[in-house]
Structure 1
Amino acid sequence: MFVYLWGYLYSNFFRFWLKWILRQLTGKCELQRICGGSKEGSQRTLKIEYSLGLSKSKVLRHAIHVGEAEVEKCVIGIMKEKKINIQKDTGFKTSLQVCLLQISGYKKLYLEVENLRKVPYDSDNEEHEKQLIQLWNLLIPHENLKARITKQWCDIGFQGDDPKTDFRGMGMLGLVNLVYFSKHYTSEARQILSRSNHPKLGYSYAIVGINLTEMAYSLLKSGALKSHLYNLVPGLPQMEHFHQFYCYLVYEFDKFWFEEEPESIMHFNHYREKFHEKVKGLLLDYNQVLTLENIKKP
């Protein structure tokens, strides 16, 4: 109750007067102070997003909802609304524009990921089938599939004879993620597949991979990936950046699983949630960037 009351009073009373006092002292509005005093990346963009969202000005509140094409026009509108002199604050326009591009880009990326997730795997779709076969060839190139529907799929961690049934939850997003990791980090993917066949600590490689797709998707949807993406991309994040984060999860989960040494796969949900909480904790760091490329750097 106290926390709620303090939040209400701060947002509706104290914050207004604090901003007014600081403007009198510095001669700059809150947006200028953030752009000039915060490190570029998530520190700056998250503060800008928060400030715009709480503004009493419709022009400023609207800024966090504009698309990429509207960003420049929106920045000009904000500068006019706040009476900001571009000659006196030469870096403000560029800094704010980058922040708005990151904000709009994050929302656009979520929609792209969501749309791909909603595409069901279709065994009659030639492109879908091609990607599925590609996954097999990347992981076990020395062994040919005897048939499209075969128990061999269990060798790379699917549950049954036909992998299409395992993609129901994440749709084509799950397959695209698996193929991306296997294509761009082939040696790592094969190594993890081999480790997943451990007699005591083994797990279903493909099923866990799809499960990690759901984790990456939920973190994106909740906004938890903002700090990571705002630090990683000085502009519009792309699907490529989502795939890169997925690769990080696959690589790190495998390490985590073997470090924890669970008694059996029956405890998977417990350790999956423990890993999820670990990643969410890392993402609270304003300076965090979670990619496999960063791990592999010497």
Structure 2
Amino acid sequence: MAPQHKSSIWFYATSWLSYFFWHMFKWLLRRITGKCELQRICYNHREGAPRTMRIEKSLRCSKSTLLQNVLSREQHGSVQECVSQVMKLKVINQEAHPIFALRFGQCLEQIWSYQALVKEVEMTRLLRYDSLNETHETLLMELWCKLVPERQLPSRITKEWSYIGFQGDDPATDFRGMGMLGLHNLLFFASQYRNAARHVLQRSHHPKFRYSLAIVGINITSMAYHLLCCGALKNHMYNTVIGAPSLLHFHLTYSYLLYEFDKFWFAEEPADIMEFSRVREKFLSQVSEYLQSEYARLKLDISDENMLAPDQG
């Protein structure tokens, strides 16, 4: 018998045995504790990612197609209706276990809302910047005003855009990769954290470690987008947002990444902008590693608290 064939048989045999013993173990726990796996998770694990991630895994690995389908909001009505269906399926008395209903419902809301956030972010990314769209143009001009309020642009098409980090005379061409998502991210950071944004802009003009803020900002949008879509932001979102993660929380995550990348860039002391890819990958690797922790929580850490105080103006 060929070695490759033997290894295949061994793999499937060990996989089947693992599957069998795991479900046997869960059956024994149910008999001993009187609680199903979903109940044990809700009662024994901390709110946030430690609980929601385990609930998500339990549903995904369930032998029941009905429980697997709970992960898809399209097949259900409200969270409350879905919780009632699951409790009926798992023979859980609703009057005797109100805490389970509450906690399981919170987990479902987080899971479904994360899926909805991915779709919303994707829709925004697919929306192309249109120079003929008055709303798009207004947002672009607002970005300039937030970052450089002391200077007026001489015209819509001008080399002045390079001051805030665009490549050419018309920023519209730089949004092609991330669409309107890139503009919305930049504008959120510049609007809600105006002092920090202007601080970063000044640093981007450093004589030795200079970089193009807008282009780097759009690149960070791409980073945040891919982290969201692959599920890497789940631990952070579930720990940060008790209710439903929304586009606001994606913008906040982006703001964290952009601000922290600026600090990382200077800490790396790159020889020139040609080292951007190396620095970016190193930064992404560190962020990704941290996000694997079930206690991950991306939070802006600023020595000058006033610098990142949300703008009230």
TM-score normalised by length of structure 1:
0.95
- State yes or no: 1:228 paired with 2:236: yes
Alignment of 1:152-171 (within 5 A): 152-171=160-179
Q: Which of 56, 60, 71 in structure 2 is aligned with 1:64? A: 71
Q: Which of 37, 41, 45 in structure 2 is aligned with 1:30? A: 37
- State yes or no: 1:47 paired with 2:54: yes
User: Which residue does 1:251 correspond to in 2?
Assistant: 259
Q: CA deviation at 1:86?
A: 2.5
User: Which residue does 2:159 correspond to in 1?
Assistant: 151
Separation (CA, whole Å) in 2 of partners of 1:119 and 1:34: 40
Identity, in percent, stands at: 50
Q: CA deviation at 1:69?
A: 4.0
Q: Which runs of 5+ in 1 are unaligned?
A: none
- State yes or no: 1:273 paired with 2:281: yes
Q: CA deviation at 1:57?
A: 1.1
User: Which residue does 1:288 correspond to in 2?
Assistant: 296
- The letter for the 2-side match of 1:274 is K
- The letter for the 1-side match of 2:28 is I
Q: CA deviation at 1:44?
A: 0.3
Residues 295 and 198 (structure 1 numbering): CA distance in 2 closer, same or farther, change over 3 Å? closer
Conserved in 2, the CA contact under 8 Å of 1:177 and 1:246? yes
- State yes or no: 1:186 paired with 2:194: yes
Moved over 6 A (4+): 1-4, 293-298
Conserved in 2, the CA contact under 8 Å of 1:256 and 1:275? yes
Conserved in 2, the CA contact under 8 Å of 1:247 and 1:291? no
Deviations 1:196-247 (A, max 9, x none): 0111111100000000000000000000000011111112111000000000
Q: CA deviation at 1:182?
A: 0.2
Q: CA deviation at 1:88?
A: 3.1
Q: Which of 21, 27, 38 in structure 1 is aligned with 2:28? A: 21
User: Which residue does 2:137 correspond to in 1?
Assistant: 129
Separation (CA, whole Å) in 1 of partners of 2:69 and 2:14: 22
- State yes or no: 1:119 paired with 2:127: yes
Separation (CA, whole Å) in 2 of partners of 1:64 and 1:294: 37
Q: Which runs of 5+ in 2 are unaligned?
A: 1-6, 307-313
Stretch moving more, 2-11 or 239-248: 2-11
Stretch moving more, 66-75 or 106-115: 66-75
Q: Which of 71, 76, 86 in structure 1 is aligned with 2:84? A: 76
- The letter for the 2-side match of 1:14 is F
Separation (CA, whole Å) in 2 of partners of 1:284 and 1:6: 30
Conserved in 2, the CA contact under 8 Å of 1:59 and 1:77? no
Q: Secondary structure at the match of 1:155?
A: helix
Residues 7 and 230 (structure 1 numbering): CA distance in 2 closer, same or farther, change over 3 Å? farther
Q: How many residues align?
A: 298
Deviations 1:132-177 (A, max 9, x none): 0000011111111011000000000000100000000000000000
Q: CA deviation at 1:58?
A: 1.9
CA root-mean-square deviation: 2.0
User: Which residue does 1:90 correspond to in 2?
Assistant: 98
Residues 232 and 5 (structure 1 numbering): CA distance in 2 closer, same or farther, change over 3 Å? farther
Stretch moving more, 288-297 or 190-199: 288-297
Residues 232 and 55 (structure 1 numbering): CA distance in 2 closer, same or farther, change over 3 Å? same
Q: Secondary structure at the match of 2:197?
A: helix
Separation (CA, whole Å) in 2 of partners of 1:203 and 1:7: 53
Separation (CA, whole Å) in 2 of partners of 1:36 and 1:131: 47
Separation (CA, whole Å) in 1 of partners of 2:243 and 2:15: 33
Alignment of 1:201-240 (within 5 A): 201-240=209-248
